[in-house]
Amino acid sequence: MARLPIVSWIGNAAAVLVGGWGAVSRQAQAVGCSRQSACEHAEKVTAAVRAATGGGPLREQLQQQLRPQAAELAALKKRLAETTEFPPQEQQRFAAAATAMGLSYGQAGELLEIVVKKNVPAARRLAAG
């Protein structure tokens, strides 16, 4: 078990890794340990930080993964901008108007199916049957 708090270890690591002349001696004296202990703390803190961050992908790899997704998002936004909303209430109005114009209920239903299926993604059309 550590005799010094973890914050002291981090302070020791900072003194060792980025401190100027005499920083390690001052830090070690301030927390009550030797310069050698401060150097060991710096190694342990460095190893812990590497272990905590070492498994993840690099920033460039993440950006590479995002590029195709950004292109897909842009294409989907463009496609969405070109679509027309046709909610159920409008579909009912369409069917009523079609039957009022002389189309049979079945004919109106077929036209409605053509329009609605055109705007339904292929995956949902396949799943629906």
Where in the chain are the domains? Answer: 6-53, 59-123
Q: Note the pLDDT of residue 43.
A: 92
Q: Note the pLDDT of residue 1.
A: 43
Query: What mean pLDDT is predicted for residues 4-29?
Result: 86
The 3-state secondary structure of 49-87 reads HHHHHCCCCCHHHHHHHHHHHHHHHHHHHHHHHCCCCCC
Q: Each residue of 49-80: pLDDT tens digit?
A: 887 877 677 788 889 999 999 999 999 999 88
CB within 8 A of 2, min separation 6: which ones?
A: 9
Query: pLDDT at residue 110 above 80?
Result: yes
